Amino acid sequence: MNLEMLMQKYQKNLSEMDWMILGYILENEQEVMGLSIVELGEKVHSSKSSILRLTKKLGFSGYSEFKYFMRQSKQNQTNLATANLIELQAKDIDNTVKLAQQTNFSLLSQALQKANTVYCYATGYSQRKVVEELSKMLMLCDKRSIVIPVKTELDISMSMISKEDIVLFVSLSGETDEIKENILSLNARKIPVVAITAFSHNFFAEHAQFSYFYYSTPFTISGKNHIAQSLVGLSVLVDIIFRKYVTYLNNEFEERM
Q: Is 215 helix (H, G, I), strand (E, B) or coil?
A: coil
* Confidence at 219, pLDDT banded by 50, 70, 90: confident
Q: What is the mean pLDDT of the chain?
A: 90
Q: What is the pLDDT of residues 115-145, one digit of tens each?
A: 999 999 999 999 999 999 999 999 999 999 9
Give the Cβ contact number of residue 129 at 10 Å. Answer: 13
**Dist CA 65 CA 187 (whole Å):** 40
Percent with pLDDT over 90 in the chain:
66
**Dist CA 97 CA 210 (whole Å):** 17
Q: What is the pLDDT of residues 62-83, one digit of tens each?
A: 898 898 888 877 766 555 455 5
Amino acid at site 121? Y
**Dist CA 128 CA 62 (whole Å):** 43
Question: How confident is the model at residue 222, as a pLDDT?
Answer: 64
Rg over CA atoms, the chain: 20
Instruction: Residue 173: name the closest of 206, 200, 143 by CA.
Output: 200
Question: How confident is the model at residue 255, as a pLDDT?
Answer: 83
* Alpha carbon 163 to its chain's center: 24
Question: How confident is the model at residue 9, as a pLDDT?
Answer: 76
- If one compares 7 and 165, the residue with the highest pLDDT of the two is 165
Q: What is the pLDDT of residues 200-209, one digit of tens each?
A: 888 999 999 9
CB 238, CB 130: distance < 8 Å: yes
Q: Which alpha helices (DSSP H) does 28-158 contain, by range?
A: 29-32, 37-44, 48-57, 63-81, 85-101, 106-114, 125-140, 151-157
**Dist CA 56 CA 54 (whole Å):** 5
Number of residues in the chain:
257
Question: How confident is the model at residue 29, as a pLDDT?
Answer: 84
CA-to-CA dists, residue 175 to 21, 39, 44, 200, angstroms: 20, 31, 23, 10
User: Is residue 93 pLDDT above 60, yes or no?
Assistant: yes
